[in-house]
Amino acid sequence: MDVKEEISTIKQINSEATPIVSLSVTNLDIEVEEGKVYKDSFFIESENKVPIEGYVCTTSDKVETEAERLEGTRQEIPFYFKGKLATAGNTFEGDIVLITNGGEYNIPYCVKVIHKFVESSGGRISTMEEFVQIYENNRKEAVDIFFLPNFEEVFLQGKPEQKELYHSLMKSRSKSLILEEFLTAAGYKNTSFLDVSQDKLILEEEDSSAQLELLLTQSGYVEGSIYSEKGQIQISRERFSSDDFTDGKLLFNVEKKQNLLNGSDIIHIDTVRQDIEISVEWWAKQTALTKEKEKKLYLKKKRAQLMHNYLYFRTGSIAFEDFAEDSEHVLEELSQYTEDNEWKLYRMHFFLMEERKEEGKELLELLEAISQRNEFTPLEANYFLYLKAMYYRTPEAISRAVSTIREFYELSEYKAEALWMLIYLDREYVYNKRLQYDTIRQLFEEGNNSSLLYFEACDILNENPNYMEELGKFEISIFRWGVRYGYISLSLSYQFARLALKAKYYNKSIYYIAEKLYGVEPDEQFLQVICSLLIKGNRTAKEYHEYFRLAVEANLKIIGLNEFFIRSMDFETYDLIPQRVLIYFTYSNSLDYLEKAYLYSNVLRNKEKYEEVYGAYYSKMLPFIEEQLLKGRINEHLAYLYTCFQKEVLEKPDNWKAVCDILFYHKLICTNPHIIGVYVSCPELGTEKYYPLSGGTGGVEIYNDRAVLYFVDNNEQRYVKDINYQLREFLSPQQFEEEWIRRNLSNRKILLMESGKMEENIKEQTLPVLQRIVFNDDFTRWMQVEAVEKMLVYYENHQDKRNLARWLGKIDYSNISTEFRKTLMDYYMEVGMMEDAFFGIELYGCDIMGAAKILRLASFGAQCYQGKEDEATLSLAYAAFIRKKCNKDTLIYLMKHFKGETAALLEIWERSKRFGLETAAFERRILEQVMFTGNDTEGVFPVFESFYATDEGDELIDRYLEYASMKELESSMELNDFMHMAIGQEIVNGRMENRHSRIHFLYYFAGREDWYDTIKDTAVILLMDFCRKNFICQFIRHIVSGLRSRFIIRR
């Protein structure tokens, strides 16, 4: 067989034994959400069905394959990215390397860690800014996203205080309001307010309704109600929300009620933050119906005017002349306005009172004619009889009138009017005041009363006070009438006072009467009634204090007077207290703690003016203060007392905890009518506490500026921003010395207060606060993390290596934030805690470190594991190497454990040779891999040369030389002179006997006469061997003719 044919045959055999490798992917571009592990796979396949052998590895410890060995004609290679601890923004690059009997292959990968996201109509979103954009464009979609289970995980990562806000608002009811409050409270948008197109509406006569426009000043969500104050108009909608607006506008109709032709009303547009008022007015022309109503109203008014004039005259409030003049004007107006008989009868009455006989006679004749025609009502007819009897005053006229009126009294509903007429005509009544009084009383009890009878009863009592034996409803009604018209005699007033003092309970009407009587005659007896009633009714309002003060100054003996003097004082001012009251309370203990706190506070503030009793009070104050302190009580007056006695209180360590318990209470004032209470959140502890508001005020406990106030309405909806309120502290922490604060840091409330200083530049005085928070499980994790990080940074900045190392020894990676990982590893390395820094690499990878520090950690790993294989150490060593950083330890480690492409192995070998390291074992690995994969790189020749120099005679040398020789014969590799000389040497030594390698040797040097002297011995040996074996081909003849004949002859 010809040599070429033999080589071709060998090449074909080798080709048929080598798999043609195909990969399902050529590169990997991967996006992974932070905190997730990414898993996938690819396939390796032999196209010619020759089984593949080899192994697979990766160049980074963040990406690993589940399969290590390769075998078969088709194999799935699962791989995964260890991304649970990776953070968004990180990029990891490397290669998946496949070393096979069909060659070396690498699949470059790039893993980008992205923020967690949610899908929206606009694509993926992962930041609050993107979410706000969705909210502005499509609020309904934003609400759906906001209530996704993973919302806080995606959008609030690293924002602990916003997470607290999110969780607290979730306890509200309205989803739209929850989202709106969150965005405004977190500062992503301004609060949405309302405006109106006009604040006054006038409806013209022809308009029954009108349309108003409500404006939304900024996009967002708001809800509220619309109502009228008087109910005189109808509004087309009672409730509204932002969903009802179109382009920021909401139209609604206002319609006046049909039965109200003239009127006014006020429209209220009410939300939790606003109460907008729109006044509405309308007029219309009068109809017959309205004219009739106006007439009735006018007549009723004039009737009342005449009655009041009459009663003012009868009670002596005005002179007869004034009464007559005013009444004449009224009747004159009425004569031109109406022809009703009622007014003619009134005029007749006034003629009689003025003794105008002639004019009365004419009118009487006119009235008689009307009576004859039966045009009077029954009441008017009897009134006419009364007037006739008073005019004529004859027994017959009077008798006839009395008889008729008595019958009318018995049968008619107008008993009060009939009785009044009988009182002045019927002898049975005229001369019997007691009968008059008793009959009036009986009528009152039956439900019949009138101002005329009240006058008569009051007039009787003024003359006969002893008739009044009790203060029942009748007597009280008489007195209310009497004080109104100023018609109560002094003797009757005293009778009233004597009876009033017997009252067992507070009576508002009796109090009113006594107050009026005292205003007319400031007698002590009336004052005693007033104060006694107020005490019985437990009335302590500030407006009553003046009566108690007058009673004290008058030295009245009333049980409870001193107590009610104090209770009715304005506790926001410190008016002087009379000596009598002060002396009383030096031995009396009848005040509650709030009243006593005010009394002591008043005494302290006015101590110079209370010199006589101050000593007696001072001795009582400290025990009282300590008692209230231990009970945890606080208000403005107690706070003042605590401040005044602060030194004495703090002298006893037993009081310290009690001081801490009340130190942080504030007075909250919120007059918003919708708000019924407030939740105060403590983000540091992850807790909140509810405080109800009473009268718009309440006490709340707030430790520092981190506290968030959630105002609550009747619907349990929470509001954070733009609710008007005031916050007043009772005590100020600044009034306590820093040393006392420091000694009480073990108290959680003090620690919470001091934790607020973590937002400032950390000073040495703050360190004890941070140290107590770090491992305090009462505090949330983010607070502990913040404390750890700020403390470590402080020690580093101040080069306090001892304390830095001490605290680094107490914590680990679970105590810090993601952003602080690299800093913590740097600190570990700085103080020599290499094992802890190395553990960080095992957790998070080495990409976050600089090259020099990676090398240090790699050296540590190599020494720590004493050369044994460790994934993290190997990753570190190679990461440093590709960043041009290495040392003897890392190079030795890489030569022993690194697996990868031949090119990477050659670079490691090259660097190791420069360091003068022993490389024989590594060289053996390289040569074995080259032959296994069929690699034809010529860069391996220096490796072989080095290995040949140290391990001459190793069977690997012969195998590689045969491999290289064949590669050159196949024209896929070009050997250098050294390689050929090595082949010759191995032939001479009898270790290379395959024919194609020997022929290759002769072929290489044929025609290179400059090498003949060097290779002559080897060439002769080969030629003689070929001759013995009768292997003489054209190529051998060419070689022989080319050699110098003297070499042949000599052999």
Tens-place pLDDT, residues 280-302: 988 766 555 567 777 788 888 98
Percent of the chain with pLDDT over 70: 92
Write down the residue that tokens 């054209």 correspond to: 1034
Determine the pLDDT at residue 818. Answer: 87
Average pLDDT over residues 1020-1046: 60
- Residue 880 sits at the vertex; the CA angle it makes with 833 and 906, to the nearest 5 degrees, is 140
Rounded to two decimals, the pTM is: 0.81
Per-residue confidence band for 1037, with pLDDT thresholds at 50, 70 and 90: low
pLDDT tens digits, 988-1018: 777 776 766 766 676 666 666 666 566 666 7
Q: Average of pLDDT values for 311-339?
A: 86
Tens digit of pLDDT for each residue in 784-793? 999 999 999 9
Please list, in sequence order, all residues whose beta carbon lies within 8 angstroms of the beta carbon of residue 428, skipping any fewer than 6 positions away: 422, 435
Q: Is the pLDDT of residue 424 over 50?
A: yes
pLDDT at 669 over 70: yes
509-513: average pLDDT: 94
Residue 470 corresponds to which tokens in the numbers above? 């009790």
Which pLDDT value is given to residue 1041?
Answer: 56
* Range from 136-150, 201-215, 307-321, 806-820 carrying the lowest mean pLDDT: 201-215
User: In a 10 Å sphere around its CB, with 0-12 CB exposed, 13-18 middle and 19+ buried, how is residue 850 labelled?
Assistant: middle
- 1051, pLDDT greater than 50: no
357 pLDDT band, cuts 50/70/90, is confident
Contact predicate 666/691, CB 8 Å: no
809 vs 813: CA distance, rounded Å = 11
Fill in the DSSP letter of residue 326: H
pLDDT of residue 207: 76
The yes-or-no verdict on residue 569 having pLDDT over 80 is yes
Dig out the tokens for 845 from the structure.
Answer: 């990878």
pLDDT at 70: 92
**Percent of the chain surpassing pLDDT 90:** 65
Interval 264-276 mean pLDDT: 93
Residue type, 339: E
Instruction: Using pLDDT thresholds of 50, 70 and 90, give the confidence band for residue 1050.
Output: very low
Residue 15 pLDDT class (50, 70, 90 cuts) = low
Q: Residues near 934 by Cβ (< 8 Å), separated by ≥ 6? A: 18, 101, 102, 103
**pLDDT digit string (tens) for 40-58?**
999 999 999 999 999 999 9
Please tell me the distance from the alpha carbon of residue 575 to that of residue 900, in angstroms, as a whole number: 94
Contacts of 586 (CB under 8 A, 6+ apart): 613, 616, 617, 620
Residue 78's CB is within 10 A of a number of other CB atoms, namely 12
Chain CA centroid to CA 1010, Å: 93
pLDDT of residue 665 exceeding 80, the answer is yes
Cα distance between residue 1009 and residue 1026, in whole Å: 21
Task: Give the tens place of pLDDT for each residue, 430-475.
Answer: 999 999 999 999 999 999 888 999 999 999 999 999 999 999 999 9
CA gap 949, 374 in Å, rounded: 157
Residues 888 and 911: their CA atoms lie apart, in Å, by 10
Q: Tell me the pLDDT tens digit for each residue of 903-956.
A: 999 999 999 999 999 999 999 999 999 989 988 788 899 998 999 888 666 888
Four-residue CA torsion sign, 198, 199, 202, 203:
positive
* Mean confidence (pLDDT) of the chain: 89
Average pLDDT over residues 527-544: 95
The CB density around residue 245, as the number of other CB atoms within 10 Å, is 17
Q: Cα(432)–Cα(426) distance, rounded to whole angstroms? A: 10
Q: In this predicted model, what pLDDT tens digit does every residue of 253-267 receive, in sequence order?
A: 998 876 666 788 999
Q: Residue 250: its pLDDT value, please?
A: 92
What pLDDT, on a 0 to 100 scale, did the predictor assign at position 331? 84
Res. 132: pLDDT tops 90: yes
Q: Which two tokens stand for residue 641?
A: 């007392």
